[in-house]
Structure 1
Amino acid sequence: MLLYHLVFPTKYRKKVFTEEVCERLKEICTEIENCYEMHFMEIGMKKDHVCFFWYRQ
């Protein structure tokens, strides 16, 4: 099992992640999980970055 922790900041650390954006991003991650053999253990978001902690079997 491989574990990954990725952090994606926004350009110039602009605060662009709203509640609506966060919910849509989680929906997209669920679709990605179904297409590929991976599982998001945690998706953390602040207004200026998003963190993914996931594994692949």
Structure 2
Amino acid sequence: MNKQQKIKHWYNIFEHQQRSDFTIIQFCRDNNINVSTFYGWRNPKLDIDSYYLGTSKLS
């Protein structure tokens, strides 16, 4: 999976978690996702939203 595919994958995971009625920990457990990995990708320094939308300076 290249970087853009990973970002899209995690963007979709974040959207799915936000739509769920579960806490992040519950969501991660139910979906076999490492909680630390979830928070690492959710790190605001990564600016995943703007990257996914094509407005980030990340490459």
- Please say whether Structure 1 and Structure 2 have the same fold, judged by a TM-score greater than 0.5: no
Between structures 1 and 2, the one with greater strand share: 1
Q: TM-score band (shorter)?
A: 0.3 to 0.5
Between structures 1 and 2, the one with greater helix share: 2
TM-score under structure 1 normalisation? 0.40
Higher normalized contact order (CA 8 Å, seq sep 6+, divided by chain length): 1
TM-score under structure 2 normalisation? 0.39
